[in-house]
Structure 1
Amino acid sequence: MESAKHAGDAAVAVSKAYGVETMFTLSGGHVFPLYDGAVHEGMRILDVRHEQSAVFAAEATARLTRKPGLAVLTAGPGVTNGVSGVATAHFNGSPVVVLGGRAPRSRWGSGALQEMDHPPLLGPITKLAFTASDAETLGQDVEVAFRTAVAPHRGPVFLDMYMDDLFAPSALHEVETQTPSPLEPDPDSLAAIARLIGEAERPVLVYGSDVWMERAEEAARDFAETWRLPVIPNGQGRGILPAGHDLLVTRARGLALGQADLVVVVGTPLDFRLGYGWFGGKEGAPLAKVIHIADAPSQLATHMQPAASAAGDLSVVFWGLTAACGEAGVKPDHHAAWVSRLAETAAAAVAGDADLLAADSDPIHPMRIYGELGKVLDDDAVVIGDGGDFVSYAGKYVEPRRPGNWLDPGPYGCLGTGLGYAIAARLARPSAQIVLLMGDGAAGFSLMDVDTLVRHRLPVVMVCGNNGIWGLEKHPMRMLYGYDVAAELQPQCRYDQVVTALGGGGELVTKPSEIGPALRRAFDSGVPYMVNIATDPEIAYPRNTTGV
């Protein structure tokens, strides 16, 4: 077996075999051989200013390319700084491999610098967390990490390596990447689901991120169009039906999920974003029957008992359901009145928002920003949300035209994902517009990584909704107690000047008429550019506490 210069070469060679093109990292001596291996193997090294951004970038790479992402973290605080990123990948089911440094085996237990046993910390938020056995078999351990990360249901894997093992000679491991056979769903389960669809008067499909991650977006769209079923997208399911599609009923979400008699949820958990799976019951309607479909049995709901469920490769599920619906005698026009009602409600909601999307109010209403942004976004724009109230508006008013072009933190709700996601998006989609929408609270978590964008020549347009408060907390706290604390930020803080100081561009916008021209300047600049928009702190995003 061919020998490597050191174990770092073996680790990087395996990573490349699994399709990794970029190593995201923050420099640390414990992992120098991994950098040397990247140089030998021609892998790009992209260094950031905080380890959380390295993991967020690796996670966004996995979500945008549907190939595993790689983050390399030095020992001790390097690993602990990346924990929030690993947790986010865990909740999103993102195939990320995090390779960590580890104090030397020869000094273990004697108090070496940054000595820490990482796997017990990472175990609860990974599919697997372990330490490499030795230098000679380190490549095999890295392959185990990647193979585990990409297997259904995908997720992060952590592997740390003793420093002296990494520097030691190692054999190059021969990798045989094999595509696993698709998990076949139970035909009886598909038949039961088809019968329920045929019996329903007011069905709704909910398409989640795993539909995209499973490469099932075409099968999902074909299924909805074949049987004329209305769709509400969730997470990276957005764009499977493009903006303007007659079956896309996002803007009629309240009616759809409140009066449906059957909700088919595919590729996303029945969590707080979906009212924990309790639908219907509005305006005298009975509770809806629920069908849960996932890519693996481990992802099916256990906190409630759906009327039916199925697990398997999601393309195979959709193909099987199409056949089963045909055998069950489902008629595409059976739900026409319901689809028309939802379409009319959605159109009325769009018309009703027109005034606020064009509002000339002073201070600026946050909806005006989205009215202007919609005019300049290309069909292939990647839109990233990192924030609370401000990004909630994005979820409502930014409707992607293609799948795989929307990124938000997902159910873990971790602020600070934005800069890491933007770094990855620019690399993954080099010719597309990359737009990072952030609240002023979220900006405080990761804005220093604008330096990373500048150093690596990665132009991104950042739009900051700057209301000078923690809006998601201030308004509810005032409602509960009549006062608020720990909810104030500096009004009109010049985050744009932070960006310019780091080598990018930016400007503060205080008038509605300035928003559109500022956005156009940002897109034309060719550099990381922030449009910092002062918005009205008295306006809170209208929330439905039920999640429906």
Structure 2
Amino acid sequence: MAPSSSRLTGQITGHGGSHAVAAARQHGVDTMFTLSGGHVFPLYDAAVQPGADMRLLDVRHEQTAVFGAEAMGKLTRRAGLAVVTAGPGVTNAVSGVATAHFNGSPMLLIGGRAPDGRWGQGLLQELDQPPLLDTITKRAQTVHGTGEISASLDDAFALANTAHRGPVFVDVPMDRLYDQAEADLPGDGGTADPDRAADPDRVGEIAKLISEAERPVLVYGSDVWLDNAEHTARETAEELGIPVITNGQGRGVLPARHPLLATRARGVALGQADLVVVVGAPLDFRLGHGLFGGKDGAPLAKVAHVADSPGQIAEHLTLAGSASGDLSAILRAIGDAARPGNRLPEWRDRLAAASAEASEADSDALVSDASPIHPARIYGELNRVLDDDAVVIGDGGDFVSYAGKYVEPRQPGTWLDPGPFGCLGTGMGYSIAARLARPSAQVVTLMGDGAAGFSLMDVDTLVRHELPVVMVCGNNGIWGLEKAPMQMIYGYDVAAELAPQTRYDEVVRALGGGGELVTDPAEIGPALRRAFNSGVPYLVNVATDPENVYPRKTMGV
């Protein structure tokens, strides 16, 4: 029986897959990231029916499907969808779900499951899966009734899209997906956010702290973007004249070269500030766990934390102020109430000078003719060819740390990286989603040679689905984040070497894309232009100097 649905009447009739797809379409989902498995065939059958308007994007590893769905959530601010088969399909997806959890990315993972009818008899891939995902999802559940699928998934999408956003997992037994049922399709595809009005007294306390501070800094994180607060965040910073540091998807809220953007002076800003107001970011290792100030004789800074929901407010340190709720409303209220002090221009000038000094110190590296190639030279060339709306994806350790330093987005919502979980292998899934979500923009994926080993086979997916992406591999032949620290601790290193100048470009060509190896710094720019002009997935494989490792400091990475 072919599935059928009517979005006018809200009725859905057919097998379980048709109920699932109808619920997804109600929430604006038009792409199903997946790797084929018999447990979930009914979802594919529903997706390809006339009028379903659901694209099947099949990949070579389940983690890529999940990373694709996560990136779709990051870019569109609406939950992406991944569908995987039972057992190994779900376990292969776990790292991707954990990444989405730590990033607060809205997404739904639907897993196949061994049939209810013979559960407990040693069925193929019989595994109780929700307990595996319970700690890294907003909810992990099994739906045991075909007629319950659409309502359960409607609620799951709404939950994933509700602040604080994150992944939701639902598995459905194989027999329930194949069974037929009729049900009402609930909801209208919206989200059911609770009241997110912040406590006005708490907001007023933060505004008072800003008014009293001499050296305040605003830090904007990913949730500023995910909560649709990027425009208000920029307006508030400009209205108050407070320097800003960005991280994660907060990058680009203030564009490159904005006079208030103090990212290049990060060490001075966070080390000498007397007040740091962190908005939409956790006070984790990337922000020194919230221990700011104390540099050059300055006392420790007061810290205020603003989050999209109460559970995101830091509890591991004493805060001078905190507020949670709708980030746009909170920032607007702070902007209306705060009255910055007279010494703020002096503070801005100090950070502007520090930024200029840092840029001057880095200028030689960006044009370095050193051989082997200095990694910074790659970014000096890349910045010359990037459009303002280019989507830049970082998938790596040492090489991508250079990207965080030298590539400053010019628009919000154009930067993707693995986030605090630090899982390598996100690059291909993120690339696929970025090309689908931003079809007219440049998409460039920056990966170390270590990261390339996790997901490069999914270039085949890019080729099959005709999704041109430029990939740049910083190929230094080592695990850069591990080799130098192990040398420092033990005086030697093991398990930190990769083959020098491995031809990852030839792998891409073998899979139907294009690529080339670059060993001369003068050829980086021409190679990048060839890549962007090629119209195919193209890897610029740059042999970089293994002795040139990213200089790390105590605060941040």
TM-score, reference length from structure 2: 0.96
Change (3 A) 1:70 1:482: same
Distance 1:393 1:151 in 2: 34
What are the equivalent positions in structure 2 for 1:263-342 lying under 5 Å apart?
263-325=276-338, 330-331=339-340, 334-342=343-351
Q: Find the counterpart in structure 2 of residue 71 from structure 1.
A: 82
What percent of counterpart residues are identical? 67
Instruction: Give the superposed CA RMSD.
Output: 1.1
Q: Find the counterpart in structure 2 of residue 412 from structure 1.
A: 421
- Which has the higher mean CA deviation after the structures are superposed, 406-415 or 334-343? 334-343
Per-residue deviation, 1:332: 7.0
- Alpha-carbon deviations, 1:336-364, whole Å to 9, x = none? 10001101110121122111100000100
Q: Find the counterpart in structure 2 of residue 219 from structure 1.
A: 232
Per-residue deviation, 1:170: 2.1
Partner of 1:158, secondary structure, is strand
1:42 to 53, 73, 76: 53
Q: Find the counterpart in structure 2 of residue 424 from structure 1.
A: 433
Per-residue deviation, 1:312: 0.5
Q: Contact 1:207–1:265 at 8 Å: present in 2 too?
A: yes
Q: Find the counterpart in structure 1 of residue 217 from structure 2.
A: 204
What are the equivalent positions in structure 2 for 1:48-447 lying under 5 Å apart?
48-172=59-183, 173-179=185-191, 180=193, 183-325=196-338, 330-331=339-340, 334-447=343-456
- Alpha-carbon deviations, 1:108-151, whole Å to 9, x = none? 00011111000000101000000003111111111121111111
Partner of 1:5, secondary structure, is strand
Distance 1:361 1:3 in 2: 64
Per-residue deviation, 1:3: 4.4
Per-residue deviation, 1:176: 2.6
Partner of 2:422, secondary structure, is coil
Partner of 2:483, secondary structure, is helix
Per-residue deviation, 1:175: 2.5
- Alpha-carbon deviations, 1:423-461, whole Å to 9, x = none? 000000000000000000000000000000000000000
Q: Contact 2:38–2:85 at 8 Å: present in 1 too?
A: yes
Gaps of 5+ in 2: 1-9
Pair 1:17 & 2:30 matched? no
Per-residue deviation, 1:182: 5.2
Per-residue deviation, 1:305: 1.7
Distance 1:256 1:174 in 2: 50
Q: Find the counterpart in structure 1 of residue 507 from structure 2.
A: 498
- Residue 300 of structure 1 aligns with an amino acid whose one-letter code is I
- Residue 449 of structure 1 aligns with an amino acid whose one-letter code is D
- Which has the higher mean CA deviation after the structures are superposed, 405-414 or 177-186? 177-186
Per-residue deviation, 1:368: 0.4
Distance 2:341 2:154 in 1: 46
Partner of 1:268, secondary structure, is coil
Q: Contact 1:182–1:313 at 8 Å: present in 2 too?
A: no
Change (3 A) 1:451 1:156: same
Partner of 1:380, secondary structure, is coil
Gaps of 5+ in 1: none
- Residue 55 of structure 1 aligns with an amino acid whose one-letter code is V
Distance 1:419 1:178 in 2: 30
Per-residue deviation, 1:177: 3.2
- Residue 99 of structure 1 aligns with an amino acid whose one-letter code is I
2:490 to 477, 481, 503: 481
Q: Contact 1:239–1:401 at 8 Å: present in 2 too?
A: yes
- Residue 434 of structure 2 aligns with an amino acid whose one-letter code is A
Per-residue deviation, 1:181: 5.7
- Which has the higher mean CA deviation after the structures are superposed, 537-546 or 522-531? 537-546
2:542 to 533, 536, 542: 533
Per-residue deviation, 1:334: 4.2
Partner of 1:189, secondary structure, is helix
- Residue 355 of structure 1 aligns with an amino acid whose one-letter code is D
- Residue 257 of structure 2 aligns with an amino acid whose one-letter code is G
Per-residue deviation, 1:378: 0.4
Per-residue deviation, 1:42: 2.2
Q: Contact 2:158–2:190 at 8 Å: present in 1 too?
A: no
Q: Contact 2:392–2:414 at 8 Å: present in 1 too?
A: yes
Distance 1:262 1:396 in 2: 24
Distance 1:346 1:2 in 2: 59
- Residue 422 of structure 2 aligns with an amino acid whose one-letter code is G
- Residue 147 of structure 2 aligns with an amino acid whose one-letter code is E
Per-residue deviation, 1:272: 0.2
Number of residue pairs aligned between Structure 1 and Structure 2: 544
Distance 1:285 1:402 in 2: 34
Partner of 1:323, secondary structure, is helix
Pair 1:518 & 2:527 matched? yes
Change (3 A) 1:499 1:178: closer
Per-residue deviation, 1:197: 0.4
Partner of 2:48, secondary structure, is helix
- Alpha-carbon deviations, 1:354-395, whole Å to 9, x = none? 111000001000000000001000000000000001000000
Q: Find the counterpart in structure 2 of residue 453 from structure 1.
A: 462
TM-score, reference length from structure 1: 0.98
Structure 1 runs (4+) deviating above 4 angstroms are: none
Distance 1:358 1:178 in 2: 50
- Residue 466 of structure 2 aligns with an amino acid whose one-letter code is R
- Alpha-carbon deviations, 1:158-182, whole Å to 9, x = none? 0000100001112242333344365
